[in-house]
């Protein structure tokens, strides 16, 4: 099969494209004929070595895939050859990546693609699941609560706005004036510019989700409602101060998480939310850059250099 792979940690240009052996499904695995994959920020971190995880070289890059069941290993139920499926947790912790014509996926990490949903779905699987886990699993966001999303026009941030609005929460997005109309179209009731946030008159915030890596903990904590939750899911190099007295006096929580460490149960719960919103046509990427799988290295370079702001890449296998 053809695939995009690395033979050691390095730069985008160290990604090769060529023939590699076809994988065979073992017990509890499903082989998927990949139709499309994408590139996430975490893919850049893994390929470069900034995020250390178990890898076997040559290593096929990529976390997400949409495709068709090609073969089923022993011990697998619930999937048959020809069904359309997706996954978003490969290419990490010893699992092979998805940027190839075929990938074998543990059955517990594979989900059915809703009828009528196309290959473009691959561009929302990772940000959508990240936002769903952040808001619903860790943040416990509920109808009637107020959710503020920093980076509300970004990939994860816009998914968070969409998901929070779908739960019946009141959503405030922090985004530029150029992105205000977009944020309102996906469910934000109010949009605040990043430069306005420090002095903005805010209602008590039940969930403060920072998808932009700003991580201004003092501002977030000061705005929290009693029992409020701060969610941190970006900004590896950020530092902040914490007023511990205010934290416990408000019964507040600060929660950091990464989808790379999510359990299969958490991923499965997030998949239900993602599938429902994709089927309803609500969860979708704002802009998609389409490229062939052979240009995976170029896609990594574009993402690493910041040339994909507001866009997602769809790498088509054929």
Stretch 84-89: mean pLDDT: 98
pLDDT tens for each residue of 261-298 = 899 999 999 999 999 999 999 999 999 999 999 999 99
Give the mean pLDDT of 5-28: 97
Average pLDDT, the chain: 95
Dihedral sign for Cα atoms in the order 182, 186, 189, 190: negative
Work out the average pLDDT over 143-162: 97
Domain 2-124+285-316, CATH homologous superfamily name and number:
Medium-chain alcohol dehydrogenases, catalytic domain (3.90.180.10)
Q: What is the pLDDT of residue 236?
A: 74
| pLDDT beyond 90 at 178 | yes
Cβ of 240: how many Cβ atoms within 10 Å? Answer: 15
pLDDT digits (tens, 9 = 90+) for 89-135: 999 999 999 999 999 999 999 999 999 999 999 999 999 999 999 99
Check if the beta carbon of residue 109 is closer than 8 Å to that of residue 267.
yes
What pLDDT, on the 0 to 100 scale, is given for residue 283?
96
Domain 2-124+285-316 matches domain 138-260 at the CATH topology level: yes
Give me the mean pLDDT over the 219-235 stretch: 92
Residue 243 has pLDDT above 80, yes or no: no
Q: Check whether the bond before 24 is cis (ω within 30° of 0).
A: no
CATH number for the domain whose boundaries are 138-260: 3.90.180.10
Find the mean pLDDT for residues 12-36: 97
Name the band, by pLDDT with cuts 50, 70 and 90, for residue 41: very high
Q: How many residues does the chain have?
A: 318
CA dist., res. 153 & res. 150, Å (int): 9
Which residues, at least 6 apart from 213, have a Cβ–Cβ distance to it below 8 Å?
Answer: 151, 234, 235, 236, 238
Residue 22: what pLDDT?
A: 97
Q: Where do the structural domains in the chain lie, given as residue ranges?
A: 2-124+285-316, 138-260
Residue 51 has a pLDDT of 87
In this predicted structure, what is the pLDDT of residue 4? Answer: 98
User: Which residue did the predictor score with more confidence, 308 or 166?
Assistant: 166
Residue 30, φ and ψ in degrees, nearest 5: -125, 130
What pLDDT sits at residue 309?
83
What percentage of the chain reaches a pLDDT higher than 90?
88
Does residue 50 or residue 60 have the better pLDDT? 60
**Pairwise pLDDT comparison (244 vs 66), residue with the higher score:** 66
Average pLDDT of span 238-259:
86
pLDDT given at position 235: 80
pLDDT at 234: 82
Q: Judge if the upstream peptide bond of residue 208 is cis by omega within 30 degrees of 0.
A: no
Distance from C-alpha of 162 to C-alpha of 139, rounded to nearest angstrom: 15
Task: Give the model's confidence band at 191: pLDDT under 50 very low, under 70 low, under 90 confident, else very high.
Answer: very high
What's the whole-number mean pLDDT along residues 160-179? Answer: 97
pLDDT of residue 108: 98
Triad 69, 74, 77: Cα angle to 5°: 60
The predicted model gives 28-43 an average pLDDT of 97
Give the separation between CA 113 and CA 94, rounded to whole angstroms. 25
Q: Give the model's pLDDT for residue 245.
A: 81
């Amino acid at each position: 099969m053809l695939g995009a792979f690395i033979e050691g940690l390095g730069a985008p240009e160290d990604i090769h494209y060529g023939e590699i052996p076809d994988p065979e499904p073992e017990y509890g695995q499903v082989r998927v004929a990949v139709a499309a994959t994408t590139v996430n920020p975490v893919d850049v971190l893994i390929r470069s070595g900034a995020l250390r995880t178990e890898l076997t070289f040559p290593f096929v890059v990529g976390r997400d895939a949409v495709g068709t069941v090609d073969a089923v290993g022993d011990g697998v139920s619930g999937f048959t050859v020809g069904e359309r499926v997706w996954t978003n947790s490969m290419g990490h912790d010893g699992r092979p990546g998805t940027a190839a014509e075929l990938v074998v996926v543990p059955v517990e990490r594979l989900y059915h693609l809703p009828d009528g949903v196309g290959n473009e779905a691959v561009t929302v699987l990772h940000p959508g699941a990240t936002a769903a886990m952040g808001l619903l699993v860790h943040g416990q966001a509920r109808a009637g609560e107020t959710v503020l999303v920093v980076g509300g026009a970004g990939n994860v941030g816009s998914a968070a706005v969409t998901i929070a609005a779908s739960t019946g929460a009141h959503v405030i997005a922090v985004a530029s004036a150029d992105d205000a109309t977009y944020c309102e179209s996906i469910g934000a009731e109010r949009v605040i510019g990043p430069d306005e946030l420090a002095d903005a008159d805010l209602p008590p915030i039940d969930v403060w989700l920072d998808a932009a890596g700003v991580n201004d903990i003092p501002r977030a904590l000061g705005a929290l409602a009693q029992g409020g939750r701060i969610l941190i899911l970006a900004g590896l190099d950020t530092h902040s101060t914490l007023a511990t007295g205010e934290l416990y006096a408000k019964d507040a929580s600060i929660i950091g998480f990464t989808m790379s460490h999510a359990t299969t149960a958490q991923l499965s719960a997030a998949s239900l939310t993602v599938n429902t919103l994709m089927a309803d046509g609500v969860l979708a990427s704002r802009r998609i850059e389409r490229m062939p799988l052979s240009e995976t290295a170029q896609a990594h370079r574009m993402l690493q250099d910041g040339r994909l702001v507001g866009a997602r890449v769809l790498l088509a296998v054929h």
